Amino acid sequence: MSEELEKVLSVPSRFKGGAVDTALVVGLEAVGLLFAPVTLTLSSVLTSALAAAYIAFKDMPGIGIGQKVVGGRVVDAKTGQAPEFIQVVGRNLPFSAAMLLAALPDPLGMGGLLIASLLLLGDVILMLLTGRRVGDLLARTELR
């Protein structure tokens, strides 16, 4: 195993990987909104559900595009080994749930977007202060 993966991934690298994942999610949402008038909002609900699923499972080996870009992987913070399934899903559950809520009609949809925005802001602040996201602390994981 390379020495690079043994260290916790740097904050700039994490931001770069996060930006890639965020761009993918925003792209999915944009496609859904683009076709919403034609599909009577079904496309918007479908793409929001796809975005939520990607967020929930992106830390499984081989799925996360952002991790591939920065060469990182999620590990159990205590053991350094591959995390258990519940940790992988748990670290992204708050944001994934907010995205599912955003897929619902307003006012719930707007509430989901607000929650997702606040979670993202919290992640940025916490990452700048500690180098870890809210999900990392909840699931006891880190990105190496």
Confidence (pLDDT) at 6: 57
Tell me if 40 is assigned to some domain: yes
Q: What value does the CA radius of gyration of the chain take, rounded to a whole number of Å?
A: 16
Tell me if 71 is assigned to some domain: yes
Backbone φ and ψ for 89, nearest 5 degrees, come out as -75, -40
Q: CA 103 to CA 81: how far, in whole Å?
A: 35
Give the residue numbers spanning the domain of 42: 8-143
Averaged pLDDT score across all residues of the chain: 85
DSSP annotation of 83: P
Tell me if 121 is assigned to some domain: yes
The number of folded domains in the chain is 1
Q: Is the pLDDT of residue 125 over 90?
A: yes
At how many degrees (to 10) do helices 42-57 and 93-102 cross?
Answer: 180
Tell me if 2 is assigned to some domain: no
| pLDDT tens-digit map of 57-90 | 888 877 888 888 888 889 999 999 999 999 998 9
Tell me if 3 is assigned to some domain: no
Q: What is the pTM of this model?
A: 0.74
Tell me if 13 is assigned to some domain: yes
Strands (E), the chain: 74-76, 141-143
Q: CA 93 to CA 6: how far, in whole Å?
A: 26
